[in-house]
Amino acid sequence: LCRSFEQMKTSLALLLTLPFAAATNKFLRNPFVSADEEPCCQNACTEPGLNKYYSIDTRHDLCGECCMADSDYDLYKKFEKGLEKADNDTPCEVLGYPKYTETVTHGAFNIKMTLDLYDHADAKAVSTDTCADTETLCEWAEGKTECCTQGEMCIPNVGCRC
């Protein structure tokens, strides 16, 4: 799901050349991200014509789930190489990411996707006095902390990731 600056520029340039069909469902990691209050895609997709899709963000070790039309797959697959159609209603949980962390919307213009992000059940949570001297305390959400090792960064609402 993460992209280098050059990949983002290329993706944005491609976005600007695509015809903006009425895409009501969205799934794209790009510099335009917003947080949503409520989960969008837990369990089965409820809107007619939408199916469950997922992608694993290997850089941050998170799983994202969304509901989208099968006809939108080819377009979003261009931007999200790991995008796959799910064969069940809880693909992230089945793949070892049962812990809901947040709902975000990624994308730009008329090409956007709202998705739920999931983490591993054993995502680290620690108190302030347990970090080693070589680690940095990360308060990634109110009252939620973990120790970031060298090379990891503290990401709000997610925690420590490479």
Tell me: the pLDDT tens digits for 56-113?
Answer: 988 778 899 999 999 999 999 988 889 999 999 999 999 999 998 888 888 878 888 9
Q: What is the largest CA-CA distance in the chain?
A: 54
Structure confidence at residue 124 (pLDDT): 56
Measuring CA to CA, which residue among 149, 162, 158 is closest to residue 120?
158
Please count the helices (runs of H) and the strands (runs of E) in the chain: 3, 10
Structure confidence at residue 125 (pLDDT): 52
Structure confidence at residue 18 (pLDDT): 32
- pLDDT band for position 38 (cuts 50, 70, 90): confident
Query: What are the start-end ranges of the E strands in the chain?
Result: 33-36, 51-57, 62-68, 84-85, 99-108, 111-119, 136-141, 144-148, 153-155, 159-161
pLDDT at 2 over 50: no
pLDDT at 146 over 90: no
Q: What average pLDDT is seen over the chain?
A: 75
Structure confidence at residue 34 (pLDDT): 54
pLDDT at 54 over 80: yes
With contact defined as beta carbons under 8 Å apart, do 134 and 124 qualify? Answer: no
Structure confidence at residue 61 (pLDDT): 84
CA 124 to CA 21: how far, in whole Å?
A: 42
Angle at 158 between CA 153 and CA 161, to 5 degrees: 35
Angle at 96 between CA 111 and CA 105, to 5 degrees: 20
More confident residue, 110 or 26: 110
**Amino acid symbol at 76:** Y
Displacement of CA 123 from its chain's centroid (Å): 16
pTM: 0.59
- pLDDT band for position 43 (cuts 50, 70, 90): very high
